[in-house]
Structure 1
Amino acid sequence: MQIQDTLKVSVLAMEFPGYGFFQYQIRDKAQKTKKLECNSKDIATNAKAVYSYVVSPPEEGGLGYKEENTVVYGRSMGTGPASLLAAENKPRGLILVSAYTTIREVAQSVTRKWIGWVVSEHFNNRKSMAMVRCPVLMIHGEKDPLIPVEHSRELFKIASEQQSGTLGEWNVLKTPPNMTHNEFNFQFDLMQPTCRFYKSIFGLYKPS
């Protein structure tokens, strides 16, 4: 993984429940193993279990990483559980790529407005972002046809307004002009802003 190699960090990635090898519930305390479906409840439950595994001490079966050394990352649909984790915990930072405000508003953005009202609501990133208390990096392509860049602009505004003191000064919004939802320059559109954000929140240099 290029992010892992470039930043010299450990990466633990969670697949959406019900996809690929992730067919069964992560065993967390007294929970029983069960067949998974890709729904918001299972996604949230397993995302929380993964986060707990990362920050729990080894004697409790975790990896033992300090929460202040943990950065949560989510892209597209993954920005929902990522924002939820950051809202309910205290990671060092949050990185969102091609984020949405709500699934319903995505549907309203790309289809007729009334269609959005028949779409089930799942993760509400607007509500989560209002509770996030860590530095946030948002990357969103100006030419994204699936999730308009305005979604990230609104979330960025919410995050910056809700964070007190100088915390909001660490927040960064990048909108590469030629980036779409699935087409982008990995090095310039993603890695460069990610590396700069990572170095700033870990004190290697101040944001500018």
Structure 2
Amino acid sequence: MAALYVVLCAVLYFKQESLLFSPSRLPADYRFQFPGRFEERWTKMADGTRLHGLLFHAPNAKGLVFYLHGNGGDVSSWATAAPVYTRLGYDAFFLDYRGYGKSEGRITSQQQLLSDVQTAYRQLLPEYPESRTVILGYSVGTGLATWLAAHEHPRMLILQAPYFSMRDLAKRLYPFVPGFLVRYPLPTNELITKVQAPVVLFHGDHDEVIYYQSSVRLKALLKPADRLVLLPGAGHNGMTDNPYYQRELARIL
């Protein structure tokens, strides 16, 4: 039994990327079909890997929503949320991480992933000053978004279904796994205290993936003016289509 436990822990440690990330790939000539005006953007990383994203344009845009999506799919599905933000007068940029969609390479470490996100963010700064940029993360993307907001100076940080930390979530889902085996700790709880911008958390109180008390615990760490919005009856997926989310988002933006 001890040997089996060691083997299981080794698999969880070395195969962590396949457990945490579920990308879908797109052919290089894939043509996106979305309403409105949008363009494909490429960002070159320090090691030469190119990451792909979609930039949606709103008429007379007030700013940018820099969107970091969850662990599955690619921008062909995540960018269906773009009209929610363009209708409110914001351009929206959706980034695919390494190995997702048309993006090259594969994710191999937390530092690599964070560096990629920061590089893509900074490439847009000449067009969108930080005073007009909102960083938004969904699910897995919330830890990345919080890290980015803690190291940059956006106008606002919005988190949809955030986790307290990835180690905390792993402990809840796999209580037999030691925390030190989690190679992507993504400590939202530590990073969020360093975010100077206003922070708004959204969480469905029926979230079946990331327990909503994660946001309740994060709220206790926030600045007095920061907010937590619980969505009654909402689960983990489809939050962007939730009418209550959209009403609150319009008020916030």
Deviation of 1:178 after TM superposition, in Å, equals 0.6
Secondary structure of the 1:194 match is helix
Runs of 4+ in structure 1 off by over 4 angstroms are none
Deviation of 1:121 after TM superposition, in Å, equals 3.8
8 Å Cα contact 2:204-2:230 kept in structure 1: yes
Structure 1 range deviating more: 138-147 or 182-191 = 182-191
Structure 1 gaps of 5+ residues are 24-34, 58-62, 161-167, 199-208
The number of aligned residues is 171
Give, in whole Å, the separation in 2 of the partners of 1:13 and 1:147.
Answer: 22
Give, in whole Å, the separation in 1 of the partners of 2:248 and 2:228.
Answer: 9
The one-letter code matched in structure 1 to 2:177 is I
Aligned partner of 2:83 in structure 1 is: 2
Task: Find out whether 1:151 has 2:221 as its counterpart.
Answer: no
Deviation of 1:130 after TM superposition, in Å, equals 1.1
Greater share of helix: 1
Aligned partner of 1:174 in structure 2 is: 229
Residues 1:178 and 1:89: Cα distance change in structure 2 (over 3 Å): same
Residues 52-91 of structure 1 correspond to what in structure 2 (within 5 A)? 52-55=122-125, 57=126, 63=127, 65-91=128-154
TM-score by length of 2: 0.63
Report 1 or 2 for greater relative contact order, CA contacts < 8 Å, sequence distance ≥ 6. Answer: 2
Give, in whole Å, the separation in 2 of the partners of 1:44 and 1:174.
Answer: 26
Q: 1:138 aligns with which of 201, 215, 224?
A: 201
Greater share of strand: 2
Aligned partner of 1:201 in structure 2 is: none
Residues 105-116 of structure 1 correspond to what in structure 2 (within 5 A)? 105-111=168-174, 113-115=175-177
Q: 2:101 aligns with which of 20, 23, 42?
A: 20
Secondary structure of the 1:13 match is strand
Q: 2:241 aligns with which of 152, 162, 186?
A: 186
TM-score by length of 1: 0.76
Q: Identity percentage over the alignment?
A: 25
Aligned partner of 1:197 in structure 2 is: 252
CA deviation map 1:37-83 (0-9, x unaligned)? 2542222111101111121x3xxxxx2x2211110000000001100
Structure 2 gaps of 5+ residues are 1-81
The one-letter code matched in structure 2 to 1:2 is P
